Amino acid sequence: MSNQPVLNVDSLKTYFYLDQDQVAKAVDDISFSIYPGETVALVGESGSGKSITALSIMQLINKPGRIINGTILMNDTELLKLSAKKMTKIRGNDIAMIFQEPMTALNPVYTIGNQITEMLRKHKNLSKSEARIKAVELLKTVGIPRAEEVIDEYPHQLSGGMRQRIMIAMAISCDPTLLIADEPTTALDVTIQAQILDLMAEMKEKFQMALLLITHDLGVVSEYADRVMVMYGGQIVEQAPTKKLLRDTKHPYTKGLLDSLPNLDEEVDRLGAIKGAVPPAHDFPSGCRFSTRCPFVMDKCTQSNPELQELEKDHFVRCHLYDNGGDTLD
């Protein structure tokens, strides 16, 4: 891993201005870096702000949402300062994105080939026939059988797994330096999930990309991620290399997520669950945003929101439990 990050996000805030002067702080002061060749997992429940973080990087936030603060540096280019037109040259070319729902992510009225080649023609200035040859090649790379025929087929003729492969083929088509995958396997069968994740890992190696993997599946995290960022209420609450995070969990929320996973080694009657739901982004509790659901809640927690602190090297936690330099969760 080189020291120069491919992507550096600093103090990013994306707020949604709702009716009646309500502001949903979907992403509230997030900073992180992604290094070349690294797989970083962004973990959290629905509504924690993972997808909005990804869409903010892509600058695909729709009204009433707005990026109100922060810098997003990509190889020394400040993306937030680029014109809308210049940003279209970054999207798909330098940063590619794969979405959750392969069934609806492809345009139903155009052929697969049409949808892949339009990218190659825009970003790589290929001619029609060159782009087609390259598209067939890409389809073969992502393991699509009958690639020469599939290229002239429409999305509805393919299965969900196949469509997600097509999305991956599109994403890697222009050799991006960063691939963002927003819950790429959530909508797929369990058997297909592993295939798709393996394919993404393989493509990452082959094309030397960095991967930002958004997921709520800690099983996926443990297998594929180098580093994990846990998000809650629009903020990062814990960040550490994967092994460290799983072995030495610091934040009560991360612990809650891990306890809710079945474990083959232990016999338990009931799986753990975090009580309640993520508070809505326009109505966070005062103090720590997790305080309403935290089993370790203290007076302090309802009064002030803790800062993200580095407990050990590379292990960051946002929790008052560690304010006095101390202890573990157990």
Partner 1 sequence: MYKYIIRRILVFIPMLFALTIIVFGLAKAAPGDALTGQQLADPKVNPEVYEQQREALGLNDPIPVQYWNWLSSAAQGDFGKSLVFNGRSVAELIESRVANTLYLGLFSLFITIIVAIPIGIYSARKPYSLLDYAATGFGFLGLAIPNFFFGLIAIYFLAINLGWFPAQGTLSGPGVEGFAAFVDRIHHMVLPGITLGLAGTATYMRYMRSEVLDVLGSDYIRTAKAKGMSDQNVLYKHTLRNALIPIITLMGFEIGVLLSGAVITEQVFQYPGLGTLFISSVTNRDFPVVMAITLILGILILIGNLLADIFYSIIDPRIRYD
Least Cβ distance, residue 141 to partner 1 (angstroms) = 18
Least Cβ distance, residue 27 to partner 1 (angstroms) = 17
DSSP assignment letter at 200:
H
State which of residues 3, 83, 108, 325 lies at the interface with partner 1 (CB under 8 A).
108
Residue 63 burial class via C-beta count within 10 angstroms: exposed 0-12, middle 13-18, buried 19 and up: exposed
Bridge-based pairing of strands 235-241 and 309-312 is unpaired
Residue 91 near partner 1 by CB under 8 A: yes
Rounded distance, CA 69 to CA 193, Å? 36
State which of residues 6, 119, 168, 281 lies at the interface with partner 1 (CB under 8 A).
119
Q: Which stretch binds partner 1 (CB under 8 A): 89-97, 135-143, 223-231, 309-317?
A: 89-97
Least Cβ distance, residue 126 to partner 1 (angstroms) = 14
Tell me which residues in 155-174 interact with partner 1 (CB under 8 A): 156, 167, 170
DSSP assignment letter at 93:
T
182 vs 238 by CB, closer to partner 1: 182
Complete DSSP assignment for 139-150: HHHTT-TTHHHH
Rounded distance, CA 17 to CA 24, Å? 6
State which of residues 69, 93, 222, 309 lies at the interface with partner 1 (CB under 8 A).
93
162 vs 240 by CB, closer to partner 1: 162
Which of helix, strand or coil describes residue 26?
A: strand
State which of residues 30, 40, 97, 211 lies at the interface with partner 1 (CB under 8 A).
97
170 vs 319 by CB, closer to partner 1: 170
State which of residues 109, 190, 268, 273 lies at the interface with partner 1 (CB under 8 A).
109
Strands of the sheet with 315-317, listed across from one edge: 95-98, 178-182, 210-215, 39-43, 227-232, 235-241, 315-317, 309-312
Rounded distance, CA 15 to CA 29, Å? 10
CA 287 remoteness from chain centre: 26
33 vs 111 by CB, closer to partner 1: 111
Residue 85 near partner 1 by CB under 8 A: yes
89 vs 146 by CB, closer to partner 1: 89
231 neighbors 48 (Cβ within 8 angstroms): yes
Residue 139 near partner 1 by CB under 8 A: no
Q: Which positions lie near partner 1, rule CB under 8 A?
A: 58, 60, 84-85, 88-93, 96-97, 99, 101, 104-111, 118-119, 122-123, 154, 156, 167, 170
